[in-house]
Amino acid sequence: MINPKQHRDNLLSRFLVAIQHAGKRLFQIAEGLADTAFGSQNNPFYYLGGLTFFFLIVLVVSGFYLYFFYEANIEGAYASIERLTHEQWYFGGVMRSMHRYVSDAMVLTMVLHMLRRFFNDRYNGGRSFSWITGVPMLWIVMIIGLLGYWLVWDKQAQFIVVRSFEWLDWLPIIAEPVSRNFLTNEDLTNSLFRLVMVTHLGLPLFLLAAVLLHTNRLHKPKIIPPTQLAAGTMLALLILCLVKPALSQAPADLSLAPGFVHLDWFYLAAYPLVIIWPLGVVWALIGGGTLILMSLPWLPPRKPDPVADVDLASCSGCNLCVLDCPYEAIRLVPRSDGHPRYRLEAQVSESKCVSCGICTGSCPLSAPFRHTDRFKSAIEMPQAGVQDLRDKILEAMKGLSAGKRIIIFGCNYGIDVTRLEHAGAVGINLECIGMLPASFIDYALRQGADGVFITGCRMGDCYHRLGNQFLLQRLDGERKPKLSRRVTRERIGFSLAAQADQKKLLSELELFYRSLPSSDAVEDARHMQKGHKSE
Mean pLDDT of the chain: 91
Judged against a pLDDT cut of 90, whether residue 463 lies above it is answered with: yes
DSSP codes of every residue in 133-182: HHHHHHHHHHHHHHHHHHHH-BHHHHHHHHHHHHHHHTSTT-SS-GGGGG
HSE (side-chain half, CA atoms, 13 Å) at 179: 14
Q: Assess whether pLDDT exceeds 80 at residue 182.
A: no
pLDDT band of 401, cuts 50, 70, 90 = confident
Distance between CA 523 and CA 519 in Å, rounded? 6
What pLDDT does residue 207 have?
94
pLDDT value of position 152:
95
What pLDDT is attached to residue 373?
66
Helices (H) and strands (E) counted in the chain, each on its own, are 18, 8
The DSSP line for 440-478 is: HHHHHHHTT-SEEEE--SPTT-BTTBSHHHHHHHHHTTS
Least confident of 152-161, 229-238, 398-407: 398-407
Least confident of 249-263, 381-395, 467-481, 489-503: 249-263
Q: What is the pLDDT of residue 189?
A: 85
Provide mean pLDDT across the span 123-148.
95
* Single pTM value for the model: 0.92
Average pLDDT over residues 193-201: 93
State the Cα–Cα distance between residues 469 and 40, nearest whole angstrom: 12
Question: Residue type for 515, please?
Answer: S
State the average pLDDT over residues 456-464: 94
Question: Across residues 122-141, what is the average pLDDT?
Answer: 95
Domains identified in the chain and CATH numbers: 4-254+262-298 (1.20.810.10), 309-533 (no CATH)
Per-residue pLDDT at 370: 75
According to the model, what pLDDT value does residue 415 have? Answer: 94
Query: Each residue of 261-317: pLDDT tens digit?
Result: 888 999 999 999 998 999 999 999 999 999 999 999 998 888 888 999 999 999 999
Per-residue pLDDT, 532: 38
Q: Is the pLDDT of residue 402 over 80?
A: no
